[in-house]
Structure 1
Amino acid sequence: MRFETESLGPIGVEIRGLDLRGDVSEADFAWLRRTVTDEGLVLLRDQPMEAARHVALGERFGPPEKLDIKREGPDPSLAVIHNVDREGSAFADDDPLMEMLTINEGWHSDSAFREIPASFTLFAAVVVPDEGGDTLYACLQRAWDALDPEEQVKLYGLNGIHDYSAAFRQRGKEMARLVGFELPALTHPLVRRHPETGRVGLFVSEHMNGIEGMAKEEGKALVEKLVALVTSEDRVYRHRWQVGALLIWDNRSTLHRAQGFDERYARVMHHVRVSGSEPPIAATAPRTV
């Protein structure tokens, strides 16, 4: 293989030698996709590309989600995440888009509020601030592996309550006002099995509102404990963005969160999210003989 990889630390690898702006063979793409699923996160630098090529690359991973939120331009598969208008003027702090983006500062995986959450996300830097605006990543599977078997067995069979609207309410915001609709709460297994690699991992986020069948405060405390385990400092990769960088991650094995930045700086990112193929698969406790 003519491509080089280098570990990013706690999670992910950087790939060198693969130019996604040209024709990528089926064999090279299959290797890239396998690397993303195996590592959870892949970084490719110096990959500036037009929106249409970004969407086309996402389509090779699977059907892109149609993004009604944060969309700008004719293609509903590409979200433009930005804090400035077309003339370069910064949005006001109380602009609905800016208020909504603060929700992404909580640890989450993309589209967990859907029956079938997103599989992959392709995130590209178009304009970056002079400081701040980093994105942090953590591995749900490595956190699971860190649990003692006695702790793991207590988590099998539990379902987490994913409530995106509650995440807005906790910050004093109303989702319907900001984006024009509400999303009903739904449940996903707290322990999931990756459909391609077979690895087991937690499925938690800061957008969860408890555990099904558990007292509210008890459930929220368990979620907070598990999120803290996943995102402990030694398990987190912080990415400092440069223009042209592309990060591809597997939402079925990772969490991420945005970091704030001084709003006097412009930040423009392009985001394509790939639809999952099936609801999360609940992992079951191994049989004992």
Structure 2
Amino acid sequence: MGLESRRLGAIGVEAFGLDLRREVSEADWRALRELVMQEGLVLFRDQPMEASVQIELGRRFGELENITIDEGPVDASKALLTNVDPQGRTRDRDDLKVQLLAINEGWHSDSSFRDVPASFSLFSGVTLPEEGGDTLFASQQVAWDALPPEERAMLIGLRGLHDYEQAYAIRGIDMTSVFGGAAPSATHPIARRHPETGRTGLFVSEHLFAIEGMPAEEAKVLIRRLVDLCVNPGRVYRHHWSIGDLLIWDNRSMLHRAQGFDPRHPRVMRHVRVAGSEPAIAATS
């Protein structure tokens, strides 16, 4: 049958015709990679898989990112976003590990606080709450296309500070105590060129706190306006999880965020991230 797809809504597609748990031909794999880059978000349903399978899928997209969760680097097979402790008990809402997960409720792209952010992400649900815990997506390339030419020209060349420490500080969490020193931060172009498709998109998020050479209040207003442009409700896809769902997205074009849920209910998600490359400045408007 081969890879086929249908639209999820304003953005993203659902793919079918491939069982990712079986051998996938090189031609189908190239087609899938191209689909993810062109659409930004691809959903596969009814494909529950072991961690090892999801990790190997990630490796086909590229070298896996060294993931940091709470205490420091962990093996990709342990990259679980969870409110469940090692004994299988649901953590209290005041537990630091639960509070750390709250940062994912802000619009972001993975690892933007690193000099080299993630490219692709592969995300699946292991244990799901009865209500809440959806994941929302928005396209920064679609938002860029909606800007008038004069504003695009103004944005090209601007660089913004993505700061992990500030993202937690506004939630009352001191990340220096978690990392044992300064939390990571990085500056990236506000308008970025996708390294493989060549398409231009915004590179903003709710983890972006300053723009080089711009007064703080002016930068704050601009960042908020650009994020709001990206996440216009008419351009957002909201995914309600079922066991067996696998979402693959391209962080070089997409924003995402988690919806809150009752922390008394367990939620375990498996996240595999693929290392990217240093973001490139958009060349023209």
TM-score range, shorter chain: over 0.9
Superposed displacement of residue 72, structure 1: 11
Counterpart CA distance in 2 for 1:243 and 1:59 is 22
CA contact (8 A) 2:71 2:178 kept: no
Q: Aligned letter for 1:108?
A: H
Superposed displacement of residue 54, structure 1: 1.1
Q: What corresponds to 2:153 in structure 1?
A: 153
Give 3-state SS (helix, strand or coil) of 1:201's partner.
Answer: strand
Question: What do the CA deviations read for 1:139-181 (whole angstroms, capped 9, x no partner)?
Answer: 0000000011121111111101111111011111111233544
Which piece of structure 1 moves more, 25-34 or 74-83?
74-83
Counterpart CA distance in 1 for 2:178 and 2:96 is 5
Which piece of structure 1 moves more, 101-110 or 70-79?
70-79
Q: What corresponds to 2:268 in structure 1?
A: 268
TM-score, normalised to structure 2's length?
A: 0.95
Give 3-state SS (helix, strand or coil) of 1:55's partner.
Answer: helix
Counterpart CA distance in 2 for 1:71 and 1:180 is 9
Aligned pair 1:210/2:228, yes or no? no
Q: Structure 1 77/180 Cα, relative in aligned 2: closer, same or farther at 3 Å?
A: farther
Q: What corresponds to 1:189 in structure 2?
A: 189
Superposed displacement of residue 70, structure 1: 5.3
Superposed displacement of residue 77, structure 1: 5.3
Q: What corresponds to 2:5 in structure 1?
A: 5
CA contact (8 A) 2:92 2:264 kept: no
CA contact (8 A) 1:83 1:267 kept: yes
Question: What do the CA deviations read for 1:179-228 (whole angstroms, capped 9, x no partner)?
Answer: 54432432100001101111100000000111111111111111011000
Q: What corresponds to 2:170 in structure 1?
A: 170
Which piece of structure 1 moves more, 175-184 or 39-48?
175-184
Q: What corresponds to 1:66 in structure 2?
A: 66
CA contact (8 A) 1:96 1:179 kept: no
Runs of 4 or more, structure 1, over 6 Å off, are: 71-74
Which piece of structure 1 moves more, 92-101 or 63-72?
63-72
Q: What corresponds to 1:24 in structure 2?
A: 24
Q: What corresponds to 2:284 in structure 1?
A: 285
Superposed displacement of residue 22, structure 1: 1.0
Q: Structure 1 275/212 Cα, relative in aligned 2: closer, same or farther at 3 Å?
A: same
Q: What corresponds to 2:124 in structure 1?
A: 124
Which piece of structure 1 moves more, 239-248 or 87-96?
87-96
Aligned length in residues: 285
Give 3-state SS (helix, strand or coil) of 2:201's partner.
Answer: strand
Coordinate RMSD, CA, aligned: 1.8
Counterpart CA distance in 1 for 2:118 and 2:169 is 23
Give 3-state SS (helix, strand or coil) of 2:67's partner.
Answer: coil
Question: What do the CA deviations read for 1:234-284 (whole angstroms, capped 9, x no partner)?
Answer: 0100000001100000000000000000122211110000000x2101002
Q: Aligned letter for 2:205?
A: S
Question: What do the CA deviations read for 1:5-55 (whole angstroms, capped 9, x no partner)?
Answer: 110112110011211111111111111111000100000011111111111
Superposed displacement of residue 94, structure 1: 2.2
Counterpart CA distance in 2 for 1:156 and 1:223 is 14
CA contact (8 A) 1:144 1:202 kept: yes
Which runs of no fewer than 5 residues in structure 2 stay unpaired?
none
Q: Structure 1 49/72 Cα, relative in aligned 2: closer, same or farther at 3 Å?
A: farther
CA contact (8 A) 1:70 1:81 kept: no
Give the fraction of aligned pairs with identical amino acids, expressed as a percent: 56
Give 3-state SS (helix, strand or coil) of 2:238's partner.
Answer: strand
Which piece of structure 1 moves more, 56-65 or 86-95?
86-95
CA contact (8 A) 2:112 2:186 kept: no
Give 3-state SS (helix, strand or coil) of 1:285's partner.
Answer: coil
Which runs of no fewer than 5 residues in structure 1 stay unpaired?
none
Q: What corresponds to 1:255 in structure 2?
A: 255
Superposed displacement of residue 93, structure 1: 1.7
CA contact (8 A) 1:68 1:76 kept: no
